[in-house]
Homo-oligomer: A and B are copies of this chain.
């Protein structure tokens, strides 16, 4: 017999669908909200609704934005001659937090993935290449993920950009900060050796 109130079960199920939230966490979150004032749950629900209702993709770089073009594309203080290409909107905040980059971005919305049937046509690749046509861009930084799909995507873009004579760079590979040599994987260590720098 079902002894739990239906709204409780339903929210546990909804939380459980989110990535990284198992049945126990889903239950804990639900009972937490039950124990808090109604306004807190309402604020969360409204923030979730606003997320989808009040954001869209920037028509220039395809980042998530509440104004168009997005704040980054609109910013005249930034260097619009550099474009950093990323797979996902969520890749931009960590790059911004470094404070080391003052150019603009382009979000592909995924890597090329032959296994999943995703080619350049499914991504915002054509839109990216058309941004390079007026000659104002002098450097493209390929910041796709350092894995098989990200590499495939970077290789494809490199082939398309090369004829345009634009500088192409990619993020450095090597040991992450705080890493332990003993536990580093072979690929990372090989790359760290190959790309070793004068010190």
Residues of chain A at the chain B interface (Cβ within 8 Å): 1-8, 10-11, 13-15, 17-21, 25, 27-34, 38, 40-55, 64-67, 70-72, 75, 77, 88-90, 92-93, 96
Contact = CB atoms under 8 A, between A and B. Distances in A.
A102 to B, nearest CB: 10
A14 B42 CA distance: 11
A123 to B, nearest CB: 14
A91 to B, nearest CB: 10
Contacts of A41: 48-49, 51-52
Given A7-B50, A7-B66, 14 more contacts: A3-B70, A4-B96, A5-B67, A6-B66, A8-B55, A11-B50, A17-B40, A18-B29, A20-B25, A31-B90, A33-B48, A45-B45, A45-B46, A45-B48
Given A33-B51, A34-B51, A88-B31, A65 B1 contact: no
A96 B3 contact: yes
Q: Work out how many copies of this chain go into the complex.
A: 2
B31 A71 contact: no
Interface of chain A, main secondary structure: helix
Given A18-B32, A27-B90, A70-B5, A48 B44 contact: yes
A2 B71 contact: yes
A82 to B, nearest CB: 15
B10 A47 contact: yes
Contacts of A48: 11, 14, 33, 41-42, 44-45, 48
A47 B3 contact: no
A139 B46 CA distance: 46
Contact of A52 (B17, B42, B51): B42
A33 B15 CA distance: 11
Contact of A45 (B15, B49, B88, B92): B49
Contacts of A14: 43-44, 47-48
